[in-house]
Amino acid sequence: MSVLKPPCVQDAKIKEVDDLHTMQTQFNFLHSLINEVPDPILVIGTDFRIKFANRAAQNFSNCFVCKGEKEPFCHNLVYNINFQCSTLGRPCPLIEVLESNKPVVVEHEIEGDDGLVRNYEIHASPLWDEEGHFLGIVESIRDITDRAEYARQLQKIKSELETSVEERTRDLLCNNDILRTEIVGRQNIEKILRAERDKFQVMLEAMGQGMHILNSDFTIEYQNDVLRDLFGDQIGRTCYEVYKGRNVPCDVCRMHEAIDSGQVQRTEEIMRNERHYSQSYAPFKDIDGEDKCLILLNDITEEKMYQAETMRTGQLASIGELAAGVAHEINNPINGIINFSQILMDDSGDDATKNMLQRIINEGERVALIVSKLLAFARQGGNDSASYVATEIHEVLEDSFALLGHQYKKDGIHYAVTGSTDPLLVCANPHKLQQVCINLLSNARFALNEKFPKERNKGKKLEVHLGVTNLKEKKFARISFTDYGCGIPAEIIESVCNPFFSTKKPGEGTGLGLSISQGIVKEFKGHLRIKSELGKYTTIMVDLPVCEPEKGE
């Protein structure tokens, strides 16, 4: 005899079956939906293995397998290689998501089975379970080869538009008088000039160039959207106030030179926002007969920075060649001095004479060491492509102080290296890291001499502290340079790493030292931060990932 279950139990059992059926239906629907997405979609675990792939991802590689224990590595699918992408210098989406804890976008060039290289944009987002544990990433791959080609085409069109704008500007200047005689009536002239101005504005906006129209009183009468986004609405204000933050006109006014000569004037200047701009001043007569000037502005800060770095590389190469010859010429007499001093010391029986000769030998050896350090530093200009190696920070600092230590002693600057005495290894180019140290030590020397000019003071000191810190669950070696000099004003501390920004007098600096140093530190996957209090101190902290060899290395 069967026992009948209560109705409530039967209803609960039916509801559970219905819920399971609904969940299965929803899962099948989502699975089918994801399979219909044309972009490859992957779920990658923290072990770099692919846990799920839609149909597009499975078709992405002929060698794809995702069954049971045969889950492939992500780099196996995308690049058909057996090691992680980061070992080749490519950005790894999983690692970047782990470091940032937020979605990332990277671009890769991938060679297909047909041998053609295509551009792909990879979107990666973190994947968490219900308890907040990190499971891996969800990654989508999109082919952007056509978009990259469009960008190249747009760049070509931009160059053609720049040429067309210059030709059109010259035509406008030459045809103004002809238009006045040929077109009857002020209204028609105004309509034509307005139409041409609108066309010109569209072309400039397409090229990303800013445009101002000034009258002879230096007042801005017109600006396009590019300059409105850059400086805000400045119509009615003077050019010298907007560009330079001045209360009076500039000593050399390119606008009046253009109007007086009737010729286009060109120049390059640093604006009040500390960016470098090329400027073109084109004079013309407006419909009211007043002389006015059209100004084109183009941001060339990055271009100038690249030119300066290229020039510096050439200078270092020249210094390297010169240093090699000088080192040879110096080393020969120095070796003679040392050898003859040694012979005299061996033959001498007077302790005072021996002591003096030993000092001569020590000073000669110090000169030889300084020459060798200078030669090694100068040769770095041609070594930019050197691979990164495990670099010991103490050795880099020792080489840097070997070059600048004499200047520090001459200026009466006390310096000390404190903190960890254990070897600190970072993965870096040692020559570039030495360049960073020398830039920061030179800046500290300048700040101390500004506060204590030609003065010996116990407060005229520099401290370099070495230690290890943890950032985002990774070990970083920290080098802290603290000088007790003039400090940095709070209102400009965010700008000191900008290219060409300098607090030094003209001719004393290029404004590229901190900018280049920050770029090198970022290249090493590190961070450069600045703390300062005006009149008291400045601390620059350089954090670099610690190089930890694997077991057996």
Least confident of 95-99, 109-113, 313-317, 424-428: 313-317
Does the pLDDT of residue 68 top 50, yes or no?
no
E-state strands within 249-369: 265-270, 276-285, 291-299
Quick one: what percent of the chain has pLDDT higher than 90?
5
Predicted local distance difference test score (pLDDT) of residue 205: 64
Confidence of residue 273 (pLDDT cuts 50, 70, 90): low
Neighbours of 480 (CB within 10 A): 18
Beta bridge partners of 125: 138
Q: How far is Cα 552 from Cα 167, in angstroms, rounded to an integer?
A: 68
pTM for the full predicted model = 0.42
Does the pLDDT of residue 438 top 90, yes or no?
no
Predicted local distance difference test score (pLDDT) of residue 481: 94
Q: What is the pLDDT of residues 229-261, one digit of tens each?
A: 777 888 888 888 888 778 888 888 888 888 888
Q: How far is CA 315 from the centre of its chain?
A: 22
Predicted local distance difference test score (pLDDT) of residue 390: 85
Pick the most confident of 294-298, 451-455, 466-470. Answer: 466-470
Predicted local distance difference test score (pLDDT) of residue 1: 47
Does the pLDDT of residue 385 top 50, yes or no?
no
Does the pLDDT of residue 547 top 80, yes or no?
yes
Give the residue with greater pLDDT, 292 vs 338.
292
Does the pLDDT of residue 431 top 60, yes or no?
yes
Give the residue with greater pLDDT, 316 vs 64.
316
Contact 278, 298 (CB under 8 A): yes
Give the residue with greater pLDDT, 221 vs 180.
221
Give me the mean pLDDT over the 129-148 stretch: 83
Does the pLDDT of residue 128 top 80, yes or no?
yes
Residue 532 belongs to what H/E stretch? strand 527-533
Least confident of 248-262, 276-290, 303-317: 303-317
Alpha carbon dihedral 78, 79, 82, 84, in 10-degree steps, equals -80
Q: How far is Cα 203 from Cα 148, in angstroms, rounded to an integer?
A: 22
Q: How far is Cα 320 from Cα 328, in angstroms, rounded to an integer?
A: 12
Give me the mean pLDDT over the 7-20 stretch: 64
Predicted local distance difference test score (pLDDT) of residue 483: 92
What does the DSSP 8-state code read for residue 314?
H
Give the residue with greater pLDDT, 132 vs 549.
132
Quote the mean pLDDT of the chain. Answer: 78
Phi, psi of 265 (to 5 degrees): -110, 140
Confidence of residue 67 (pLDDT cuts 50, 70, 90): very low
Confidence of residue 479 (pLDDT cuts 50, 70, 90): very high
Phi-psi sector, 387: left (phi>0), alpha (psi -120 to 50), beta: beta
Confidence of residue 317 (pLDDT cuts 50, 70, 90): low
Does the pLDDT of residue 482 top 90, yes or no?
yes
Question: Which residue ranges form the domains of the chain, and what is each CATH number?
Answer: 37-143 (3.30.450.20), 153-299 (3.30.450.20), 301-385 (1.10.287), 387-553 (3.30.565.10)
Least confident of 108-112, 195-199, 228-232, 505-509: 505-509
Long-range contacts of 545-548 (CB under 8 A, 24+ apart): 545/426, 545/427, 545/474, 545/475, 545/476, 545/477, 546/424, 546/425, 546/426, 546/468, 546/474, 546/475, 546/476, 546/477, 547/390, 547/391, 547/425, 547/426, 547/427, 548/425, 548/475
Give me the mean pLDDT over the 451-468 stretch: 84
Give me the mean pLDDT over the 331-346 stretch: 78
Least confident of 215-219, 321-325, 506-510: 506-510
Q: Nearest to residue 97, comparing CAs of 89, 88, 108, 106? A: 106
CA terminus-to-terminus distance, the chain: 76
Does the pLDDT of residue 494 top 70, yes or no?
yes
